[in-house]
Amino acid sequence: MRKVTFPHMGYSHIAFKQLIEDMGFEAITPCHPNRYTLDLGVRYSPEHACIPFKILMGNYIEALERGAEIIITSGGVGPCRAGLYGMTHEKILKSLGYDFRIVVFDPPLVNLWDFYWKLRFMVREARLSWRAFIDVIKRAWDKLKLLDEMEIKAINLRPYEVEKGSTTRAFHQCLQIIDRARTRKEMEEARRECHRILEKVPKDRSRRPLKVGLVGEIYCLLEPFINLEVERTLGELGALACRGVFLTGYTQTDVLGKGNHNVRLLAAPYLNQFVGGHGQNSVGETIFYAKKGFDGVIHVAPFGCLPEIVAKGVLPKISRDLDIPILTLTLDEQTGRAGVQTRLEAFVDLLYQKRRAKEVKGFGTLLPGYRCGLCQH
Amino acid sequence: MERGRKLRIGFPRALFYYSYFPFWQGFFNRLGMEVVVSPPTTKGILDDGTREAEAEACIPVKLYHGHVLALKDKVDLLFIPRLVRIDRRSTFCPKFLGLPDMVRASLPDLPPILDLKVDERTSPGEWWPTCRAIGELLGIDSFLRLWSAYREGKQHQKAYEKLLYKGYLPEEALAALRGEEVEVPPRIKENLNLAVLGYPYQVYDGYISWDIIGKLRKMPINLWTMEMVPPSKLYRFCKHLPKQPFWHYSVLVLGAAYYYQQQGVDGVIHVAAFACGPDAMVNKIMEIDLSQGSNPTPFMSLSVDEQTGDAGVATRLEAFVDMLLQRRRKG
Ligand code: SF4
Ligand code: SF4
């Protein structure tokens, strides 16, 4: 059985593991990034590469050590570094002496032919019929959707939890249940089970959590290890963190086609150009949240990230013009958890003060249960 | 604007200045406008840029902000095009794509900015669509006048490129076009052949590169740069890569590395821009590819910032050249 590995991003590995296994390969599931992964990645990556590159590097090396023979990853179109990840990883790993094959799936819209050949290679290797393959893909997709659904639910419930950390515990329980479910029927059961588990967590519904928009680079948004669990920290500080970027959304808009149109229109007065990655989205989403009356926005970006630097260049102006506080978290291998925690606490304090001042002045604030509509919760 | 005075267009001496200035000078002059270029980089200009620009940006982009500041009170219009694609094969770095937006958001009280988009994919015809748009904005409705200005720009650019291919460096070629006496050192057979590759705005800005070029000119070497080879050729030399790199200048740099490797130069120096995202990748790819294969080429990557210091750069260059000389003597 060929051993296949893939990048780790958020909780997607649960779905990808299933995909690979259903195709008849042995999945070498990348481990959750940790200090060790990062150190390994940093050692073998160019010094100024962005942090996702380094983490992936660490993950690949670990997987290759565990015997992986094929790496499957996605490429990118844009003028951003992600598009060169595959090739650079390959060159570095090969120069380290690893023997493997890397299959980089670029968006089919860019080069359909190339996409087809790579797909064909995988299907042949798997000895599957196309029909069986499509079924496998569909189930993996359903699983991604399920993962998103639960994550969104957990984010929305966390600010109300009575005991700190209880939602996160319940959510991790859910992840295990989802991981075990394979057939459609099992997945449906898992879905119901997870909802039940999350709803059972004791909550205080009288709270009125702050509404904070999370924008920024996708890998940082989705990978709790890199963002030092921003969402969880915020939730436990009593703030509801909304974000527009989720796994399924990413696959739909970025891997399959072009990005989110409306958000780009919103961004136009400040940044009238797609700059790769999620730079323009960060700007557009910030404006979106500001217009929806959110209390604040947190912008997470890897240190040196090209599109996000452009975004950072214009965000201060947006903050002034639209009167919305923005906190920028720049993440790299040196970012410390304690520092981030303090900054988040200070930011949340500031937002509370601001809200109180507004209430005194008689502006309405968001009602509990208010929905933003960007993520589908 | 008072009557009779020429419209002054500001052109910062940074980023694409080294690649496309002759075209724009020819174009604007023919339209009866004056092109004002910011002075060569000084400490003051760089410091201004560093203070005002986004802290995480690369040095060349910060420097661009500094040059805009140096110009803003002397001109009626600033020319900061949004370069997206100038040919079908590459896209500029994201910071070029967002350049006008970044400049506008971080610098207050600027004169109006000509921030037209140049995108070969959506509006083909190289600079022509941009020229048309400029004509529209400035109220020049005579097609013929615009076209002749465009032709004039093209001629200037062609003359410039011809000089580059002949072995002039950008500053020397620009001086020659202005009609100054320029002497380009002849190539000597016994000298080392050294390719110095990097983004033109990093390599030829004497201040931020600690005058690498000037220092090398004093050594017994023949200098080769990527501007001496037509871009179409450089593109071809990138073809063998499994994935085409897409940033305009990076493809050229990589292509030049492979080209000069094939030409059998004695060594390659890559002058990386400080805090440059693309270079982090390009540098690694180049290092691996030059050191492997049938004819490995000695390679040095030079990433310079304010802390490196003049002496630091000189020592590193000398050490590398010494190493190449020894290598030649041995083999
Ligand atoms: S979006 Fe940023 S972090 Fe991601 S590849 Fe591009 S530069 Fe790196
Ligand atoms: S290519 Fe590098 S040096 Fe040039 S603008 Fe982009 S980040 Fe800056």
Q: Are residues A231 and A364 in the same domain?
A: yes
Strand A210-216 versus strand A239-243 pairing type: parallel
**Residue A63 domain-assigned (yes or no):** yes
Q: Are residues A366 and A249 in the same domain?
A: yes
List, for residues B174-188, the tens digit of each pLDDT value: 999 888 888 888 888
Mean pLDDT, residues A177-185 taken together = 90
The residue type at B99: L
Does residue A278 contact residue A263 with C-beta atoms inside 8 Å? no
Q: Are residues A225 and A260 in the same domain?
A: yes
Q: Are residues A26 and A59 in the same domain?
A: yes
Q: Are residues A354 and A285 in the same domain?
A: yes
Architecture of domain B8-165: 3-Layer(aba) Sandwich (3.40)
pLDDT at B80: 92
Contact B97 A273 (CB under 8 A): yes
Q: Are residues A70 and A156 in the same domain?
A: no
List, for residues B41-88, the tens digit of each pLDDT value: 999 999 999 998 888 889 999 999 999 999 989 999 999 999 988 888
pLDDT at B4: 64
Ligand 2: which atom is nearest the Cα of residue B202?
3
List, for residues A122-156, the tens digit of each pLDDT value: 888 878 888 888 888 888 888 988 998 898 889 88
Of the residues A206, A233, A258, which one is the last residue of a structural domain? A206
Give the gap in angstroms from C-alpha B245 to the nearest C-alpha of chain A. Answer: 7
Virtual torsion, Cα B311, B312, B316, B317, nearest 10 deg: -40
Find the domain containing A278 and state its range.
Answer: 209-375
Q: Are residues A265 and A367 in the same domain?
A: yes
In degrees rounded to 5, what are phi and psi of residue A84?
A: -100, 0
Q: Establish whether domains B8-165 and B188-330 are of one fold.
A: yes
Q: Are residues A41 and A163 in the same domain?
A: no
**Residue A138 domain-assigned (yes or no):** no
Place of tokens 């630097």: A309
The domain B188-330 is placed in CATH, from the list 3.20.20.80, 3.40.50.11900, 2.130.10.10, 1.10.8.60, at 3.40.50.11900
**Complex confidence, ipTM:** 0.84
Tokens of A75: 């490429």
**Residue A257 domain-assigned (yes or no):** yes
Mean pLDDT, residues A343-361 taken together = 86
Of the residues A206, A230, A259, which one is the last residue of a structural domain? A206
Q: Spell out the domain ranges in chain B.
A: 8-165, 188-330
List, for residues A295-334, the tens digit of each pLDDT value: 999 999 998 888 899 999 899 999 999 999 999 999 888 8
**Residue B3's pLDDT band (cuts 50, 70, 90):** low
Mean pLDDT, residues A218-236 taken together = 88
Q: Are residues A42 and A119 in the same domain?
A: yes
Q: How far is CA B31 from CA B8, B74, B75, B225, in A?
A: 11, 19, 16, 33
Q: Are residues A235 and A318 in the same domain?
A: yes
Q: Are residues A240 and A326 in the same domain?
A: yes
**Residue A248 scores a pLDDT above 70:** no
Place of tokens 């909802």: A195
**Residue A194 domain-assigned (yes or no):** yes
**Residue B246 scores a pLDDT above 90:** no
Rounded CA-CA distance B80/B3 in Å is 25
Mean pLDDT, residues B282-286 taken together = 89
Query: What residues in B contact A83, CB-CB < 8 Å?
Result: 243, 246
Q: Are residues A262 and A213 in the same domain?
A: yes
Contact B98 A279 (CB under 8 A): yes
The domain tally of chain A equals 3
Q: Which of A46, A48, A314 sits opposite B101 (nearest CB)?
A: A314
Rounded CA-CA distance A247/A188 in Å is 19
Q: Which of B53, B241, B243 sits opposite A104 (nearest CB)?
A: B243
Edge-to-edge strands of the sheet including B192-198? B221-224, B192-198, B267-272, B299-303
Closest residue CA from atom 6 of ligand 2: B93
> Ligand 1 pocket check: which of A81, A220, A250 to mutate, most ligand atoms within 8 Å of Cβ?
A81
**Residue A175 domain-assigned (yes or no):** yes
Contact B98 A271 (CB under 8 A): yes
Tokens of A265: 């229109």
- DSSP SS3 for A161: strand
List, for residues A13-57, the tens digit of each pLDDT value: 898 899 888 888 899 999 888 889 999 999 999 888 889 899 999
